[in-house]
Structure 1
Amino acid sequence: MLMQGRVLVVILSLLLITSDIYSQRNENWSPKNLSIPTRWTTGVSSDSPLPEYPRPQLVRKNGWRNLNGKWNYKITQTESWPVTYDGDILVPFPIESSLSGVKRKLLPTELLWYRKKLGPIKRLKGEKVLLHFGAIDWQATVYLNNVEVGRHTGGYTEFTIDLTKALQNSNNELLVKVYDPTDKGIGPHGKQVLNPQNIYYTSCSGIWQTAWLETVPEIYVKDIRINPDLDKTAFTLTLKTSEKSHLCQAEIVVSESGKIVANVNGPADSTFIIKIENPKTWSPASPFLYDFQIRLKYKEKIIDQIDSYAGMRKIEVKPDNFGFNRIYLNNKYIFNLGVLDQGYWPDGIYTAPTDSALCFDLKAIKAMGFNTIRKHIKIEPARWYYYTDKLGLLVWQDFVNPNQKLPEGAKIEFENELKETIDQLYNHPSIISWVLFNERWGQYDQGRLTKIVKDLDPSRLLNGHSGELLYVNNQLRDRSDNPYQGSDMADVHSYPFPRNAPKLPGKVQVLGEFGGIGVPVEGHFWDDVAVGWGYQGAGNIDTLKEYYRKMTDSLVKLEKQGLSASIFTQPFDVESEQNGLITYDRAIIKINPDTLRKFNSFLWGTTSDSSFILSKQFLSLQYLAFPTYSEKRTLFENGRRDSTFLRNLGISAVRHKDTLLATRVTNQYLKVIKDTFATENLKAILFFTNSTNDSSFRVLLRNRERVNAVLGKNTAERYVMRIISSEYILPYLNDSIINWGQIEKIIPQYGELAEEEIFSSKMISYLNKKDWNNFSKYYMLYYKRAMPSNRSKFHVNNMSWQVFLNSSNPEILKFAAKVMEKNIEKNDANSPEAFDTYANLLYKIGNRSEALIWERKAFELSKNPEIKQNLDRMIANQKTWE
């Protein structure tokens, strides 16, 4: 019997990864400050992480070497080559991840260096040695033996460098320099940002996909392009060779389950038409793939041979018998029932811990009864797409959005990476649609760009804009005048409940995002102290199930009204978002997959396809109950003291207002944590700290620089000053006559922070009383302390405007002008209101010429009539403060 009050959830247990979990580990390496592990975390080998062949569509069985593993790393502020190194980093995990062994944010002012000693590299005469990277975020320069051998810009696409000319016969040393400003630069960065919150996540820098070497002949196959043509029952194949392809012949052998079904020969630089009799089609219900073997010959001798595969499928939009435009796969209408998959991991961030983990996500999605994935503003490793091909999942592939502010150079970079993305993913039958823009994130030139995408790949659908119509709680947000130009789809986002997209000529109606129902599962949070984010909270598992059932009922009705696709947000929790069907650590599924599959079967016949059988083999289910708060207290009293438990109990104690227990638990927590200044520990310390008597308060007070280096500038000061104020100032502010002398007498000696807090409190108190002389006095005292560190508690522009209106003291007015100058430089570089305040202060102290310059800037930005009135007064030498 389960105890009353406990929450029931379903736990996923993968049956197929035992060997992965128990792979050999190097005991000198372990994940750094891991918040929550996945079941695969312990299976990561520091000697050979992610050892699988990284390029399933272009396989050379011999002559390759995986470079994943421990590399030396160094972070510098300058371009000077490292002489010493900071330690080891585990490639291919981004430096910000636990699995890298470093877990450190890379700042826009820093460079990240990698070093790998390769030793001697064996090759035959005439052979070349290629270095491949699946992805390096964002800008990489590669050196071999102190010689620059190549560069690449773009955080999501693969690249190859020929190392042959720089190779030495004995030892070889590889050096990689990485620059990644993330959202502070011009490159596409997706949802990763330097300071994540809500729908934005942890940044990922450096090598984050497999690095590997390959030995190839002098003339070799560099790439292939395969186009299926179901109507003509044929594949079209084009080879791209390294050089001199006109001297070579090519042979293409196509097999079906080991039996040869086609064999063609011809000059290597020609286009091959490969007829298939009675072809088997690729679909989610039957994801059949043909095996390809491509042999490159010179004078009848095979000089290069690769293995590949392809699926025979056709995708198009056309009207059904009722006049609704539908998505047709292989000449049959198929409802695209999908999820918004973001591809984040608590241990590896952008990089799945193991290949089994990478595949698990896809199997879980299909086992829940979905047939489509919208891969959301991220490009995955090649093996992810290989598994979507093998398992039969339709993919809507987002391009990674440009920097939303579109700084100079961002458009060029976005378009370069867009073209690289299409080239890289072109052959995957699972990808049926490109998604150009998401919710106006950096949107520009949509008509021109949709034409570019269609010209580069006419074989797929194009969603020119997913979520141009965005509804949140039935409220429509801003939209452009022509949202669906160049698109095959009319796409709407609707949170939380679904709605239909507009019916437009030639376009299919799709629901690009909906759902987002939050259900936090205690013990499985990325960040214990963060409030779970979602468009709507379900509160518990039963409510989530009921919401999902109602949403499915709505989709069934909308489908009859022309809706042809829906994308549910989302399959997995991600960092602070707890609105997934499965927890971030892939441990708990919040609705039984049998139930999900039953609901989903009303839109797509999931119970009759392979996903039903797959789920039975793939998942075993058991019920799990979490201990109540009272049971956790008992565990604590009985001696449980591990840091994860203490952090969780301490947070629960604070939320239950159990002050005495919270203090005891916090003190124990500070004793057992290994690294006080790890991000997750500091966040917990901030949450625990509510009094100057708390031991955690002393950690913040005495280690401000170290705390700020991890959590951001002024974080420690803000918390310290808030607590000082709550204990020693706020209780007295309700008195009709405030005895400031008494407050200053009883406040402990916390130095300049306490004094700054008193100045700010006096400033606001006198502002409320309209005592302008004292307000101006304490404005000056407060901002002398607050502005150098740029940590004003208040809106600087609002405070300074009051000084302008109500002070006649030249010294204070000049000081306020300097405050506004610094505020514009640091915070309000594009604010017409800040320009207006600065201009008026300059004008009042007699600097008319400079004031006019800033007031004109303010009016040009805002076209505000009040600012225009001030400008006219300045021009006419009239007062603006009366």
Structure 2
Amino acid sequence: MKITFISSFLVLFSFGLKAQTIPLPEHPRPDFERTDWVNLNGKWEFEFDSLSKGDDQNWSKGTAKFSKTINVPFPWGAPLSGVKDEADIAWYQKNITVPESFKNKRSFITIGASDWETTVWLDGNLLGKHQGGYTPFSFDITPFVKYGSAQKLVIKVDDKRREFTLYGKQGYGNARGIWQTIYLEARGNSFLDYVHFTPDIDQNKIKVSGEIIGGDSKDNVLKIKVKDRSEALTFSVPKGQNMFEFTFDVPNAKLWTLENPYLYETEVTWGDDVVKTYFAMRKISVANLPGTDIPYVALNNKPIYLQLTLDQSYHPEGFYTFPTDEFMKNEIQLCKNIGLNGLRTHIKVDVPRKLYWADKLGLLVMADLPNFWGEPDAQAQKESEFTLRQMIRRDYNHPAIFSWIVFNETWGLRTKVKNETTGKVESQYLPKTQNWVASMYYLAKSLDQTRLAEDNSICCGAGHTETDINSWHEYLPGYEWEAHMQKIDKGTYPGSSFHFEKGFTQGNQPMINSECGNVWGYDGSTGDVDWSYDYHRMMNTFRVHPKMSGWLYTEHHDVINEWNGYWRFDRTMKYTGVGDLAKGMTDKDFHSLVYLSNGQDITHTVKANEEVSVPIFVSVMEDINMVDKVFLVEYTLEGVNQIGNTVKVGEGKLNLPFEPWMQKAFDPLKIKMPETNGVYTLTFTLKDSKGGTVYHKNFVSFVVTDGKLPAGVSIIEKAANAYSDAKWSLKKWEVMGGKKVNGAGNGSFTYTFEGKSSGAKSGYLLMELGAKELFFKDRAGSEIKNTDYMLGAKAEPSQNQNSYPMTDEKKFPSNLKVFVDGALVKTVTLEDDPADHRGILSWHNQLQNRKLSEAGSYGYMVKIPLTKAQIKTLDKTGKLSVKLNVDSGGGLAVYGKEFGRYAFDPSIVLVK
């Protein structure tokens, strides 16, 4: 189990770095690339300027000796940069050579992003100053270039904290200084500043618009060469005109879809300036879910059920900057691998190459404007407006982006004012600020009418103003979702003021849950905990409420204060274990567009031989075509009973009528429970009628009680906490009144079983046991003192009192020796101290008080045959002593019948 922050260099990515002569050698803008360019990433001389003396000492001339070396473009303080974060101001310098091939053109230096105030000199000549932290900027170096000769480039970055700058979530790791690729490029003497493509799939046309800098070209003709098109398109630009706009046909257009994300590679030429770019034929709009009046976001006029994840877009070693292009590609592929169709880049203008891979692989993106943490004063408003304009300008051609989000959870939008009634100073979301937020929505729409825009992704009592998406955030325990979704359904309709500020009301916007999960659903958050059990409850609930047109789970990967990602911070795996509970099921089944839901409750306590009614709801979020209009549902009930045997109880089939886009509840399935206690899982497989295509797998579990043992079997049980002796070197404690007992370090638990064999011919010890790591939360003085989570609280993943780190690639094994009446009978390696969906009882028996107690934890079934001599000893003395001893330091957890994975206490099972 992982319990500490990853500080070592990541092996997974270090190989890729070593294979590169410089970091991120690829062109940073596949959407706007010139052939003549030179990547300046790599080693630069570097110096901190904590006393702000560099200007007075003329460091800009490039003659000063700097004492450090930084690896650009990683922000200073990030491990991959090679320097620690020691000051707010720093200087970079490097000898560069502008190639001879740049002659007869204009030469520029471009920095992809640098936070916050960046000043650049070449051979002591001031090139310019830029303020802002997220978007690219360029300076013309042509007047000062000595082609083919070494010159000194000097850069100063001032990243002092300012309340109005868009700091975002940099508490996860500051983006200080240069954090995107820096490069030289040759442009035409008159050149293209930007080129935007606006597709119209309904008319099979595309509009191309842009801006020219530097006056007329020789023939004032704009040429556009589209791949797979035999002839270049030419358009005349009137002399003296710097803006252009033309439309051309795209016959037999290949649409950009999530399954086939086709990109039209394009070359745009203006005089001696040539830019390689691309566009896609796709449309973002709103359309009703067929057969309903429920609005959904639509891709190419077809409604799409949004299944997204919140992407903090952070790397543990590079912070804002990823180590390789392959890593960025993999970020997108990971989402597609588990069936997600989009992500929301959270409070960060993301790296263009990562957006390129979303375009290339077919994944939708919601793009956030980063937030400031001060108040919404004039400076903050100016900074926000500038960055919004620049991000839309830069990223206009990325088909993956389907919406712009201007603000998140009203961060930075509250103003301190004195309450005239109480006299107290309060932070309020003032009407004038709400009007400014609405104006920012309109600004986004004026800059880009091809996408949706959202004023504020709301939470915590604030509402919407003007918006294209009726979004909301809610973090809940899994058991609270059904009641909440009923409330949401009731409050969502045109004209409703629910989730809107005073003076604003709902229109016909798609309604989505744009942040959810259990991380903040429990008091003080969960810490590191199995995400899959509550997630399963949540997905089951969402699919029976189609009025909500999509959801967004927090989050893609762990960060330094939240450990509820699908993947670890280093992008290694977490394991849900659903395939062990329902054969053939994967995490992707949670995101199937065809989904069979049994409702919110995924584990039920029932009585033996009881006939149980199981809800059946089928949600179809696509227009699949089946000739016979019938679904085949196969189901199987099997599990492990209280004597440790795997039992197949029954199976059957259902035929359900099908329609595309169907959202329908069917008659419940009646199924009889087995006669023996245990945990049993009812697995559903949804197929086409011929059984050739499997659309979805799901399951619901039953804890059977009040049953009887199989004929000829008897058991002697001891509660997990009914040990006769215990000694542990680090700590011993009980969980939830003794449902589980833990011993950390080296030591033992001894159980004395009392009873008679009653003529048994054979028998075995039966226990559920796991290793036991001493997590941070179980140590003295473990309380989390820094609770400023939004800015990156420093805490261990297992420090939160609700936490129990989820099963992942790192194991914590324990070597166990089992003694019966003093004789060693078995040595067992307990592979790990796991916690995931397989810990059904540990989840099912949690108190519904918004706190967690070792939720999802479970052990391994240990069966040890008894000898005839041991059975005779039991008959003779009426007791048998079992000592569970660990001397490897791995600890031991003993699970009772109401905790873990299996419904049995430590037992002796006797068979006649």
TM-score, length-scaled by structure 1: 0.59
The alignment status of 1:535 with 2:516, answered yes or no, reads no
Structure 1 residues 650 and 334, CA, compared in 2 at 3 Å: closer, same or farther? closer
Please name the residue that 2:155 is paired with. 176
Please name the residue that 1:223 is paired with. 194
Q: How does 1:29-178 map to 2 (within 5 A)?
A: 34-35=7-8, 37=10, 39-45=12-18, 47-61=21-35, 63-76=36-49, 77-78=51-52, 79-80=55-56, 81-82=58-59, 83-106=64-87, 110-119=88-97, 121-123=99-101, 125-168=103-146, 170-178=149-157
1:506 to partner: Cα distance: 2.1
The alignment status of 1:282 with 2:256, answered yes or no, reads yes
Q: Which has the higher strand share?
A: 2
Q: Tell me if structure 1 keeps the 8 A contact 2:226–2:232.
A: yes
1:478 to partner: Cα distance: 2.7
Residue of structure 2 aligned with 1:552, choices 536, 539, 559: 539
Structure 1 residues 123 and 254, CA, compared in 2 at 3 Å: closer, same or farther? closer
- Residues 186-225 of structure 1: per-residue CA shift (max 9 Å, x gap): 21111114xxxxxxx2222000000011122312223201
Q: Tell me if structure 1 keeps the 8 A contact 2:560–2:795.
A: no
Within 2, Cα distance between the matches of 1:598 and 1:319?
A: 25
Greater mean deviation of Cα atoms: 169-178 or 580-589? 169-178
Superposed CA RMSD: 3.6
Please name the residue that 1:459 is paired with. 450
Please name the residue that 2:364 is paired with. 394
Please name the residue that 2:286 is paired with. 317
Structure 1 residues 286 and 344, CA, compared in 2 at 3 Å: closer, same or farther? same
The alignment status of 1:380 with 2:350, answered yes or no, reads yes
Greater mean deviation of Cα atoms: 499-508 or 82-91? 499-508
The alignment status of 1:296 with 2:270, answered yes or no, reads yes
SS at match of 1:459: coil
Within 1, Cα distance between the matches of 2:29 and 2:369?
A: 20
Within 2, Cα distance between the matches of 1:51 and 1:212?
A: 10
Q: Tell me if structure 2 keeps the 8 A contact 1:38–1:347.
A: no
Q: How does 1:463-502 map to 2 (within 5 A)?
A: 463-467=454-458, 470=459, 477-479=460-462, 483-496=463-476, 499-500=484-485, 502=492
The alignment status of 1:240 with 2:211, answered yes or no, reads yes
Residue of structure 2 aligned with 1:213, choices 180, 184, 187: 184
Q: What amino acid does structure 2 have at the position aligned with 1:314?
A: K
Q: Tell me if structure 2 keeps the 8 A contact 1:36–1:346.
A: no
- Residues 530-584 of structure 1: per-residue CA shift (max 9 Å, x gap): xx998336844xxx3222211111110222xx11121100010011211111000
1:429 to partner: Cα distance: 0.8
Structure 1 residues 210 and 188, CA, compared in 2 at 3 Å: closer, same or farther? same
Structure 1 residues 633 and 118, CA, compared in 2 at 3 Å: closer, same or farther? farther
Structure 1 residues 102 and 633, CA, compared in 2 at 3 Å: closer, same or farther? farther
SS at match of 1:442: coil
Q: What amino acid does structure 2 have at the position aligned with 1:452?
A: L
Q: Tell me if structure 2 keeps the 8 A contact 1:600–1:606.
A: no
Within 1, Cα distance between the matches of 2:116 and 2:575?
A: 36
Q: What amino acid does structure 2 have at the position aligned with 1:581?
A: Y
Q: Tell me if structure 2 keeps the 8 A contact 1:291–1:308.
A: yes
The alignment status of 1:328 with 2:295, answered yes or no, reads no
Q: Tell me if structure 2 keeps the 8 A contact 1:337–1:565.
A: yes
- Residues 599-622 of structure 1: per-residue CA shift (max 9 Å, x gap): 10046879999xxxxxxxxxxxxx
Please name the residue that 1:252 is paired with. 224
Greater mean deviation of Cα atoms: 124-133 or 564-573? 124-133
Within 2, Cα distance between the matches of 1:392 and 1:350?
A: 23
1:261 to partner: Cα distance: 8.1
Q: How does 1:379-458 map to 2 (within 5 A)?
A: 379-406=349-376, 409-443=379-413, 444=433, 445-458=436-449
Structure 1 residues 632 and 128, CA, compared in 2 at 3 Å: closer, same or farther? farther
Within 2, Cα distance between the matches of 1:252 and 1:654?
A: 61
SS at match of 1:582: coil
Q: Tell me if structure 2 keeps the 8 A contact 1:581–1:590.
A: no
Within 2, Cα distance between the matches of 1:650 and 1:50?
A: 42
- Residues 402-447 of structure 1: per-residue CA shift (max 9 Å, x gap): 3343355121111111111111111111111111111011233112
SS at match of 1:573: coil
Within 1, Cα distance between the matches of 2:348 and 2:523?
A: 21
1:105 to partner: Cα distance: 4.7
Within 1, Cα distance between the matches of 2:387 and 2:150?
A: 35
Residue of structure 2 aligned with 1:569, choices 545, 554, 560: 554
Q: Tell me if structure 2 keeps the 8 A contact 1:128–1:218.
A: yes
Q: What amino acid does structure 2 have at the position aligned with 1:555?
A: F
1:285 to partner: Cα distance: 2.1
Q: What amino acid does structure 2 have at the position aligned with 1:213?
A: L
| Structure 1 runs not aligned, ≥5 long | 1-6, 10-31, 194-200, 298-302, 471-476, 520-531, 610-627, 635-648, 663-679, 688-882
SS at match of 2:587: helix
Q: Tell me if structure 1 keeps the 8 A contact 2:211–2:244.
A: no
| Structure 2 runs not aligned, ≥5 long | 414-432, 494-505, 579-584, 595-619, 626-729, 732-741, 747-770, 783-791, 800-912
1:125 to partner: Cα distance: 4.4
Please name the residue that 1:508 is paired with. 510
Within 1, Cα distance between the matches of 2:276 and 2:523?
A: 45
Q: What amino acid does structure 2 have at the position aligned with 1:419?
A: R
1:366 to partner: Cα distance: 1.1
Q: Tell me if structure 2 keeps the 8 A contact 1:518–1:537.
A: no
Within 1, Cα distance between the matches of 2:280 and 2:391?
A: 20
1:596 to partner: Cα distance: 1.9
1:49 to partner: Cα distance: 0.7
Structure 1 residues 8 and 178, CA, compared in 2 at 3 Å: closer, same or farther? closer
Greater mean deviation of Cα atoms: 76-85 or 150-159? 76-85
Within 2, Cα distance between the matches of 1:175 and 1:650?
A: 55
Number of aligned positions between the proteins: 559
Please name the residue that 2:573 is paired with. 588
Q: Tell me if structure 2 keeps the 8 A contact 1:597–1:607.
A: no
Within 2, Cα distance between the matches of 1:385 and 1:491?
A: 23
Identity of aligned residues (%): 29
Within 2, Cα distance between the matches of 1:533 and 1:245?
A: 64
Q: Tell me if structure 2 keeps the 8 A contact 1:395–1:430.
A: yes
TM-score, length-scaled by structure 2: 0.57
SS at match of 2:12: coil
Q: How does 1:753-832 map to 2 (within 5 A)?
A: none
Q: Which has the higher helix share?
A: 1
Q: Tell me if structure 2 keeps the 8 A contact 1:515–1:535.
A: no
Structure 1 residues 84 and 100, CA, compared in 2 at 3 Å: closer, same or farther? same
Within 2, Cα distance between the matches of 1:352 and 1:148?
A: 30
Q: Tell me if structure 2 keeps the 8 A contact 1:67–1:210.
A: yes
Q: What amino acid does structure 1 have at the position aligned with 2:550?
A: A
1:598 to partner: Cα distance: 0.9
